[in-house]
Structure 1
């Protein structure tokens, strides 16, 4: 069987079963596991799936471009954002990561001018300025078109001069085994650097992210202060996550 035919077969399995087990596919097709792993690696390089140990998973919905994510799980994001805002004390310095849930937070922040908001997202900076009287600090760097967030060497340099009380971290996958993941390598590095400069880090876990796995690791679940989830989300994975960190509803 040609590589193109194997890839079509792998796409069909992923669509039908929601996962690919490399060993099983190799046995079914009578080819080596190395051939299947190579096919999966090439499909992952084109963004068609996410490689995991032993096989592959679909690309999480939260890994779509930012304009497509804006209409995804909007009510869940609003509930998570509302709960996250309750963690902010007067006079705090906070970092709002890029993302649609943090954008919802930006519109819910207290109006007073004693709050300082740092963000790598121009959209969030504008939302904070429009809805509050907070001081706004933008992390500079190259603007990634996919996520519309500043990243790269200039952003990393700026992050080293920051300090904040709270970091509201946006990821695209939250899984008890694979930890916190995202779909862009530069974003993952920038998120880790910001977390290292903040006293506490909370992850925003709207319903489409719980149990999802993206390509690039950000942090392990035991490296954050807590996970803010949708109080109406009954996903059993939340119980598994609660074994490694506080879960706030």
Structure 2
């Protein structure tokens, strides 16, 4: 069997089963585990999968920068944002993450809502500039341009002084075993700090992020009390999370 054929079969197994195990593949293809590990390394370098101990998981396709993501699936992101915005009520304090779906959340907050929004996203802060009843607290730090959020020690230190009712989290991967993940280490640290300072974490996740993984883990999936998904997201993608006691809110 040609290497290209074997790689294609690995990707098909990954899509079908949601994960692959190197030892199982070596038996199935009658090759060494070293050969399978090399295949997995090469596929990971191409962004086709995310390697984990003993095998691989589907890679999140959410690697496009902020400007590129703004042009993709805007309708579904708007629906997720609208549903999440409806969870914030008068007098509450909410962390809103960075990312294009978070901007949609901010865009759908009622103009007469009296609440406090804390964000490390300049894009979210600008979106809320005309909401006169909202108190908007901007967390500073180094600007991570890919996601248009502030990161670093200064951001984490600022967050340590705030307690919120909700944290609306953006991710690139949501997986029952691999947890909540993202593609940048510093961004993961800030998201972890936000989880720790919020009473409840709500994950905003379009379908392609479910059962996928990125390189940097934020927290176990159990850190999320609710996952907001598109209305037509297949049940096979959401059932593993419902089995863990996580609420699935269909936008």
1:35-74 correspondence runs (5 A)? 36-37=36-37, 40-41=40-41, 44=44, 49-74=49-74
How far residue 84 of structure 1 moved from its aligned partner, in angstroms, is: 1.0
Aligned to 1:110: 110
**Residues 1:154 and 2:154 are matched in the alignment:** yes
Structure 1 residue 204, shift from structure 2 partner:
1.1
Q: CA deviation at 1:54?
A: 3.1
Q: Does 39-48 or 179-188 show the bigger shift?
A: 39-48
**Stretch deviating more after TM superposition (203-212 or 47-56):** 47-56
| C-alpha contact 1:176 1:237 (8 A) present in aligned 2 | no
Q: Give secondary structure in 2 for the equivalent of 1:236.
A: helix
Once the 2 structures are TM-superposed, how far is the Cα of residue 63 of structure 1 from its aligned partner? 2.8
TM-score for both structures, normalised by structure 2: 0.83
- Corresponding position of 2:236: 236
Aligned match of 2:84 = 84
User: Displacement, 1:133?
Assistant: 3.9
**Aligned-pair CA distance for 1:37:** 3.0
- Structure 2 CA distance for aligned equivalents of residues 162 and 45 of structure 1: 39
Q: Structure 1 residues 43, 87: closer, same or farther in 2, change over 3 A?
A: same
CA contact (8 A) 1:14 1:58 kept: no
Q: Displacement of 1:59 after TM fit?
A: 3.2
Instruction: State the secondary structure of the residue aligned to 1:191.
Output: helix
Cα gap change, 1:75 to 1:125, in 2 (>3 Å): same
Greater mean deviation of Cα atoms: 122-131 or 94-103? 122-131
CA shift, 1:104, in A, is 0.3
Which residue does the alignment assign to 1:119? 119
Instruction: Give the corresponding residue for 2:128.
Output: 128
Q: How many residues align?
A: 243
Q: Over residues 167-196 of structure 1, what are the superposed CA-to-partner deviations in whole Å (9 max), with x where a residue is unaligned?
A: 101111122222211111111111111111
Alpha-carbon spacing, 1:65–1:222, altered in 2? closer, same or farther (3 Å): same
Unmatched segments (≥5 aa) in structure 1: none
Change in Cα spacing, 1:140 to 1:45, as seen in structure 2 (3 Å) is: farther
Q: TM-score, normalised by structure 1?
A: 0.84
Distance in 1, matches of 2:183 and 2:5, equals 24
**RMSD value over aligned CA atoms?**
2.7
CA distance 1:128–1:14, shift in 2 (3 Å): farther
Greater shift, 90-99 or 17-26, is seen at 17-26
5 Å-filtered alignment, 1:98-247, equals 98-112=98-112, 114-131=114-131, 133-244=133-244, 245-247=246-248
Secondary structure of 2:194 counterpart: helix
Q: Could you tell me how far apart the structure 2 residues matched to 1:13 and 1:148 are? A: 37
Paired residue secondary structure (2:157): helix
Structure 1 residue 154 displacement after superposition:
1.5
Deviation at 1:224, TM superposition (A): 2.2
Deviation at 1:107, TM superposition (A): 0.6
